[in-house]
Structure 1
Amino acid sequence: METSSLITRWNLSSLQYETDVKKFKNQMGMVKEKLLEIEKESNLAVLRDSEVLKLSQLISHIESAESFYYCLTTEDIEPSQLTSVIGIISTLKSQVYSIVTNLEERVNEMNETQLTQWINNTKQMNLLAELVNNRKKNSKQEKMISNFSRETLSGLEDLYSQVRNNLKVEIGHAHVKKEISFAEAMEQALVHPEQNERLHVFTELNRTLEAQSNIFASIYNQMVGIRLHENKLKKIDYLDESLKFNGITSQTHDAMWYAVDNNMKGLSSYFNKKEVETEKMSWHELMTSSQNVSFSVTYSQAADEIINSLATIDSNMSEFVKEALTKGWIDAEPRKTKSSGGFCAPFIQEGESRISLSYDNTIDSARRLAHELGHAWHFKQMHDTPSLRFTDDLLEMTMAETSSIFFETVFTNHMLQKANEASVKKAILGPKIERSLNYLMSIRGAYLFENEFYQYRKESPLDVRQIEELSLICQEKAYGSSLREYEPYVWTKYVQFYQATIPFYNYPYSFGFLFSIGLLERAKEDEHFNWKFKSFLSETGRLPLEQLVKNHFQIDLSQPEFWQRAVQNVVRDIEQYKGLS
């Protein structure tokens, strides 16, 4: 690909929204007026076909607006303005939920004759089929409880974000000190080029979080308490809804973790190789060790290699990446307004996405670029099908990470195959393994913590000391006691614990990681994999994930064999790494 054709700053002006916050709010105001008209009608009677179709269109509009908001968070805009924007969008989504609830109630009030007559007269049965199928399943009281919980949890998530974003971390030495934001501290603690400075910022960040830990503990206790109370009223277990939302059974969930446990010796053997010079590594040393490896990949090189790697799997994938790289879908420029990591904001209605990351010429940046492009590929397969549900309510987290990790793994394996020198292989393989162990150990530690917290919270709220102790114990278990120190105050750092709509945010990442590796193995064996994979992604949310996997790949995820093969891929990487001089 010609370097001159690459665009490193995204094009937001081609989308239908205004980058001026005031004008953007005005656009949202017009959406609100339209929703109010529909809401008024829904309170009186069953919505007409035209109103149902308009509601579906407004849902798509709100989704795109929310994606646009996430793009604006990386721009030079006053945070307080953005806080009001996301508040408006949350209110619009609540309006939609209220309208759909009213519509469900109207359907539930019909007798069989009325229902049959209504079905025969409506032209929007594709939109209303789910309402009919779910008729009588959920009581009005349960829906009211869910709506109340959703709004309260959303407010607590917003409170968490405000507290975190307002944090100032003091860094520096002697009389030369300065304050940096939470996002900057998280970034510098892991990627600052100087090891001593990384550790200094990491220490000061934790000290700042410790000082504010009481308010984080209060927010998290309240969120989990609300969910437990809702579950009690619905007479379900706290993990049931998460498993259902993610389209898997407890048997599959357990089979995945069993495979990880069964291979703990092989997985933790990586740390034995890393502990040549020290007794044991700390979590921070593990997460930042790749910073000491010098291996440069320019943005244009990364673009070329991602395209080349995907061409061996599916030429459509590589052509898609070229489109994203040359049409202003990607913002790769480093800016202070960007947080660490990256994201892919979908504009499904427009058939596009926007990707944000701070590209810094490292192999990790290249890997992250491939990852986000994988998300964009997934969204491309999800057609703008009219629906009365938000994509967030359809897109299973277990499914959400599949395409992204598939892309990054294909790219990383390609780079390994190209490398001729042992030092280069180590520079690529080391971070790859540590990324894998992050999914299987760090993220599992977060899942174990969340699971244990729910158990204890049934009895009473936990204080800061109890929460921190629980967090460290769960991390030690997840890492097989292989590290000398673990990550302090991790439960205050990551928004995943405070997601209003997604409890148990963590384990789906581990699932998606192992699932994508297993699918990549299948791609090597199945000549029809390409169209199966596209078809599989296009049906996101239409059936539970386990059923889709059986339909498209004839894989039974509840059996341990698939997961065992996937974990063994990581163990083989570790053995290869240990064999490099």
Structure 2
Amino acid sequence: MEQIMNQNWDLASLYPDETMSNKLIEFRNELDMKVETLSEDLKHLNRSSGIITLSKLVEIIQRTQYVQNGSEEFDDLLICIYAQNTNNTEVIGLLDHSTVIKTKLQSFQLELNLTLGNLSDDLWAELLCLTEIEPISFFLLECRNKGKNQLPLKMERLINSLSINGIKGWEQQHEQMLTQLRIPLKMDGETKDVSIGQALNEAIYSKNHDAALAIKQICEKNADLFASVLNRIAGFRLTIYEQRGWDNLLKELCLQNRIMDETLHTMITSIKQHKELIQSYIQRKIELSEIKNPSWYDLESPYFTVAVKVPYSDAVSLIIEQFQTFSDSLGKFAEEAFEANWIETENRPGKAEGGFCASLPLSKQSRIFLTYRQNYQDVITIAHELGHAYHNYILHNEPAFAQQKGTSLAETASTFMENLVVDAVIKQSTSKEEKLALLEMKISNGLKYVGTIPNMFKFEQEFYEKRKTNIVTTEEINTLISKVENELYDGLIEDLAVHKWMYISHFYNAEKAFYNIPYTIGYLFSNGIYEKLKKSDNGLEQLDELLRSSGRMTVEQLAERYLGEDATKATFWDSSLQPLKDAIEEYLYLTEDIKINK
């Protein structure tokens, strides 16, 4: 690939026959009509003298899968359009329409769940014997179980309808508030209003105390508004749980991520048992930095840095090369993704912050979004998102219902590819300073999953418990954050990021409960896979089969089938923590003489 500074993705090729705007409106109308027709046909089927025609039910199921894929493609495409230009007001209205379509589809899904739940055992067994149903039998069984346990259909439909202007409306409100939040920073001799993401990047990577102070001041000014939104989202969710008779706060989380409560708690316990190692790394960073009163951004700021910048062309070559070391076909996939312009990397104003991979199942493609700033962290981000794209590539050839995977399993391929690249870069490092910088990056990323996220999970659980009885004030929210952060850092960090609950969007997700912790599950589960398969002669074949089954099995079933492990036991999670432990121990060893000399 020729030397280039950045890359812009190609969205227009997805719909070449008409303007994007007209096609999106046409797409919206088509989806809306198909959902309405599906709903009417299912109602008619259920009114057919109490006798379900199996062939008609199968036909409805097949049509539903097309609409499912269409809704996902429509929504992800709109997110891409908005992310590349947050000043695009037209797309905001279409995103509202997408929410309405998804809500209608969810209401239809409730009726399908009830229909499957009401099938006689004989008819259900007959349905499962059909060839076209076998690949989606796992998903349909989940639907059947939901149908047997859901509220009366009218109540579930009412919840869905109210959610448009309720929990989903509040989620969109938070997104707009966060996008519009501006932090005044002095840059290049003048004061500029930057996004929260840009300010955080400045505080962490430029070690800019003024940026951290400005973030704190703006957050304090707006905290009450954000607290109000968070309370409404939690209140809406808790009301639904109460109506359904769910006493366990984590029931929805476990169902969505296809993991048992027992497994989740075993994982958390395993992480807690390695708390001292995490703290030893933090202590070493503080000793090296010689900071008397360390703040949250000091912890996240790298002490060691790689002096050279990584041009985008070099990042592309590095990723393709490392993917090829695992498999020629994996390397070819990465090369084709770059050449087909699936990736948006340009560093320019007006873009959204962060990175993501959009799945476009009807087009059988993906699109990757980030802002590339010529550092190794961004190289790793591209590898991570390409992992998501590869997972999509495997699943896009499966029926829509077999593509539905929990967030934790969705992180499997992404973390795997991330590990491939970061381990290779560390191994190839030519100096101690560079190796330490890369080790620090790997450790910092790992600590997000086994330190920050479990901490936020604990905060969120305690917040929801308090919200059961009353509105939780801004002061109380900040106190909860301080409490769990101090438990992790054990007094090592004095100036905590007590307002992080405002800008971590996962807290405000309307569809996915306790959306932070699935990333920890996925990170550790993928580490377990990585340690097993990187030594295997047919590692890619095994990985492909696991990814293909990610929409058909639970976490426990995948671990047993493809890894020969019992995910309910601590030994599995302990071994999954080993790569991070090894990195921390190597870091401590390599920095011992530096600490002594200081």
TM-score, structure 1 length as denominator?
0.90
Change (3 A) 1:574 1:385: closer
Q: Residue 63 of structure 1: which of 45, 59, 72 is its match? A: 72
In structure 1, the residue matched to 2:251 is 240
1:511 to partner: Cα distance: 1.8
Aligned equivalents of 2:172, 2:400: Cα separation in 1? 27
In structure 2, the residue matched to 1:41 is 41
Q: Residue 352 of structure 2: which of 339, 347, 360 is its match? A: 339
1:320 to partner: Cα distance: 1.1
Aligned equivalents of 2:342, 2:85: Cα separation in 1? 19
What is the correspondence of 1:119-138 to structure 2 with a 5 Å cutoff? 125=133, 129-130=140-141, 136-138=148-150
1:300 aligns with 2:313: yes
In structure 2, the residue matched to 1:3 is 2
Change (3 A) 1:310 1:111: closer
1:552 aligns with 2:562: yes
The 3-state SS of whatever aligns with 1:45 is helix
Q: Deviations over 1:32-77 (max 9, x none)?
A: 2333333333343356665543332122112111111121123336
1:244 to partner: Cα distance: 2.3
Q: Residue 82 of structure 1: which of 86, 91, 98 is its match? A: 91
Aligned equivalents of 1:118, 1:248: Cα separation in 2? 28
TM-score, structure 2 length as denominator?
0.87
- Larger deviation: 68-77 or 523-532? 523-532
1:371 to partner: Cα distance: 0.8
Aligned equivalents of 1:100, 1:568: Cα separation in 2? 41
Contact (CA 8 Å) 2:384, 2:415: kept in 1 or not? yes
Q: Deviations over 1:476-511 (max 9, x none)?
A: 223343322221311111110000011111111122
Contact (CA 8 Å) 2:65, 2:400: kept in 1 or not? yes
Aligned equivalents of 2:391, 2:343: Cα separation in 1? 16
Aligned equivalents of 1:123, 1:528: Cα separation in 2? 29
Aligned equivalents of 2:369, 2:273: Cα separation in 1? 37
Contact (CA 8 Å) 2:114, 2:144: kept in 1 or not? no
Unaligned runs of 5+ in 2: 47-55
Change (3 A) 1:38 1:283: same
Change (3 A) 1:24 1:77: farther
The 3-state SS of whatever aligns with 1:514 is helix
Contact (CA 8 Å) 1:7, 1:328: kept in 2 or not? no
Aligned equivalents of 1:101, 1:232: Cα separation in 2? 18
Change (3 A) 1:64 1:291: farther
Aligned equivalents of 1:150, 1:111: Cα separation in 2? 32
CA-based RMSD: 3.0
Change (3 A) 1:345 1:425: same
Percent identity of equivalent pairs: 24
Contact (CA 8 Å) 1:49, 1:122: kept in 2 or not? no
1:559 to partner: Cα distance: 1.0
Q: Deviations over 1:210-231 (max 9, x none)?
A: 2121121111112112222222
1:269 aligns with 2:280: yes
The 3-state SS of whatever aligns with 1:244 is helix
Aligned equivalents of 2:87, 2:551: Cα separation in 1? 36
Contact (CA 8 Å) 2:110, 2:147: kept in 1 or not? no
Task: Give the residue type in structure 2 aligned to 1:520.
Answer: Y
Q: Deviations over 1:208-254 (max 9, x none)?
A: 22212112111111211222222222222111221222122222212
Task: Give the residue type in structure 1 aligned to 2:14.
Answer: L
Task: Give the residue type in structure 2 aligned to 1:350.
Answer: S
What is the correspondence of 1:4-403 to structure 2 with a 5 Å cutoff? 8-16=7-15, 20-21=20-21, 23-46=23-46, 50-76=59-85, 78-106=87-115, 125=133, 129-130=140-141, 136-141=148-153, 143-144=156-157, 146-148=159-161, 150-151=163-164, 152-172=166-186, 177-191=191-205, 193=206, 195=207, 198-236=208-246, 237-276=248-287, 277-279=290-292, 281-289=294-302, 293-387=306-400, 394-403=404-413
- Larger deviation: 452-461 or 368-377? 452-461
Unaligned runs of 5+ in 1: none
Change (3 A) 1:179 1:415: closer
The 3-state SS of whatever aligns with 1:259 is helix
1:292 to partner: Cα distance: 5.4
Q: Deviations over 1:524-557 (max 9, x none)?
A: 4443432221111111221212112211211111
The 3-state SS of whatever aligns with 2:185 is strand
